[in-house]
Structure 1
Amino acid sequence: MSSVPPTLQHELALAAAGGHRFIGAADEVGRGSLAGPVSVGYVVIDPAAVPELPGVRDSKLLSDAVRHELVPVIKSWAAAWGVGHASAAEIDALGLVPALRLAGYRAATAAHRVQQADAVLLDGNLDWLSATVQPTLLDSLVPGFGEPEDIDGLLIPVRTLIKGDLLALSIAAASVLAKVERDDLMDGYDRDYPAYGWIQNKGYGTTAHRAGILAHGASEYHRKTWQLTPKSPGTTSKAKGEGRTP
């Protein structure tokens, strides 16, 4: 576990730089999985008003039991929160980055019904959360143009932060919410499809998981456009999906 806990430094800096009050934070889990959704956790906080949150770290540094204990603490701490998912079928249909955006938009939409954020901190170096098309004056002049269902991402400022889940407390909190909810989903899917070992691997490309796919084929929860089984000897094409252990 990292010896330096995440702080509110980056949230306070973003709020001060933009004259914002409420800061959103987002992190994803499941990006490299072979099965199951990609999931995004999202919290909204007033960084000038919330306390530090002892024990919260990047979700990967915490045990499953500790993560579950922290979920109600995080939900009470945040002004608003949400978790959004994009299914394996949506990943196949849209591609990974648009699916991430969809999951993040779903998470933020749920949170913003309670408290709208003024700007967002996003883990990583790629902004996959902002809307791909910004509204124009035409949106307000032409009926049906630029309807809410046409928006595919956030329209507020998004700032990326490399290793944000280690540095920013709000991103770490969002990562815990996302991992707990996604892991619980995978445990539930395992009851219907026990051959893949999802309780252990959460859908990532372990040897046992790939062996299950070879023996039983792909399930409805697998990302069928990804390289699910080992390539034949001599094959050099790059796999579209990369599996890693959780």
Structure 2
Amino acid sequence: MTGRPSLRFERSLLRERCTVLACADEVGRGALSGPVSVGVVAVTEQTRTAPQGVRDSKLLSPDARARLAPRIRRWATTHGAGYGVGHASPAEIDAVGIMAAMRLAAHRALVDLDPTPDLVLLDGNHDYLSAPAQPSLLDAPGPSFPPVVTAVKADLRCAAVAAASILAKTSRDALMVELAQEHPQYGWHENKGYASPAHVEALRRHGPSDHHRRSWSLPGCAVPAGSVPGSDTTSTIEQAVEGR
């Protein structure tokens, strides 16, 4: 799919189903280290066109994302209904698995939005936000969250979802650059925690740090003694190699 994303789909949802729509995207799901992060941009029918250049964060250079992020924050604050970014730590991912950690990060991104959205649009085809039938250890009692609609490739065709992906990506990347100062051997300032050859070799030589997802079968490391329920190790390691 090519072309500039627009607010067309978001506006259709606003006309038919809600008054405040929160558009969300996650980054870091397949990384070997660092948090999983969720960005949210909330829009209404009065929200103006997104800043020029907004695309899915994976299609933009780091410099382009850095230039766009403050423009998106101003746009979301001035012409939208706000924005947020939430993170779930490697320890939380190890404790409850990647899907529950994504839900936790999304809740953290949504909780401070005012007004509260009455619908959430998630990229993809999986609703990781809604409470599961069997809550995890991290699903503590708290405010209820709005219903969810999912859309495949929303990050490519929906401008507010693409904007959310840029906010999540720039926020998470900044955290990984900070962590790289403490652990320069893993090259996080360049690979941002994903499975680059240099990162895998550093794992082989030095073993995992406290910021690695230790419940996973980390490449270059011995398989962990026990697996964590819900950690989705196989699929997430495949994504780590692909940089998702």
Q: Residues 145-164 of structure 1: matches in 2 within 5 Å?
A: 149-151=140-142, 155-164=145-154
| 2:155 aligned counterpart, secondary structure | helix
Measured at CA, do residues 95 and 149 of structure 1 come closer, stay the same or move farther in structure 2, by a change above 3 Å?
A: closer
Equivalent position of 2:195 in the other structure: 205
What does 1:60-71 align with in structure 2 at a 5 Å threshold? 60-71=58-69
Structure 2 SS opposite 1:39: strand
1:188 lines up with 2:190 in the alignment: no
1:50 counterpart residue number: 48
Q: How far apart, in 2, do the equivalents of 1:69 and 1:189 lie?
A: 22
The amino acid of 2:109's aligned partner reads A
Partner residue in 1 for 2:217: 227
> Matches of 1:85 and 1:231 in 2, distance apart?
25
State the SS of the aligned residue for 1:181: helix
> Deviations 1:15-34 (Å, cap 9, x if unpaired)?
1221x221100000000000
Q: In 1, Cα distance between the equivalents of 2:196 and 2:144? A: 34
- Offset at residue 230 of structure 1 (A): 4.2
> Which structure's CA Rg is the greater one?
1
Corresponding letter in the other structure for 2:49: P
Cα distance in 2 for partners of 1:174, 1:239 equals 26
For 1:191-231, what per-residue CA distance to the aligned partner results, in whole angstroms no more than 9, with x for missing partners? 00011111111101111101101111110100001111248
Identity among equivalent pairs (%)? 44
Moved more, 70-79 or 187-196: 70-79
Q: In structure 2, what is the Cα distance between the partners aligned to 1:133 and 1:37? A: 25
Cα distance change, pair 23–92 in 1 and its aligned pair in 2 (3 A): same
Residue identity matched to 1:244: V
Cα distance change of structure 1 residues 49 and 201 upon mapping to structure 2, 3 Å threshold: closer
Look up the equivalent residue of 1:208 and give its one-letter code. Answer: A
Divergent runs of 4+, >4 A: none
Determine which of 220, 231, 244 is the counterpart of 2:241. Answer: 244
- 1:16 equivalent to 2:6? Answer no
Where structure 1 has 5 or more consecutive residues not aligned to the other structure, the ranges are: 135-147, 233-237
Matched, 1:214 2:216: no
CA RMSD of aligned residues (A): 2.1
AA paired with 1:226?
A: W
Mapped partners of 1:43, 1:49: distance in 2: 11
State the alpha-carbon separation in 2 of the partners of residues 154 and 217 from structure 1: 40
2:241 aligned counterpart, secondary structure: coil
SS at match of 1:244: helix
* 1:103 and 2:84 are equivalent in the alignment: no
Preserved CA contact (<8 Å) 1:206 1:245: no
> Match of 1:142?
none
State the alpha-carbon separation in 1 of the partners of residues 47 and 84 from structure 2.
20
Partner in structure 2 of residue 130 of structure 1: 130
AA paired with 1:103?
A
Write the distance in 2 (CA, Å) between the matches of 1:231 and 1:197. Answer: 17
- After superposition, the C-alpha distances for 1:115-155 in whole angstroms (9 at most, x for unaligned) are 21121110000000122369xxxxxxxxxxxxx9414x863
Gaps spanning 5+ residues in structure 2: where? 223-231
Report if aligned partners of 2:6, 2:49 keep a CA contact under 8 Å in 1: no
Pair 1:155–1:239, CA change in 2 (3 A): closer
Residues 74-93 of structure 1 deviation map (CA, whole Å, 9 limit, x = unaligned): 11111211000000000000
Aligned length: 223
Q: Which SS does the other structure have where 1:40 is aligned? A: strand
Tell which deviates more after alignment, 74-83 or 178-187: 74-83
Name 1:87's counterpart in structure 2.
89
TM-score by length of 1: 0.85
Deviates more, 1:73-82 or 1:169-178: 73-82
Aligned counterparts of 1:50 and 1:21: Cα–Cα separation in 2: 15
Corresponding residue for residue 170 of structure 1: 160
TM-score by length of 2: 0.85
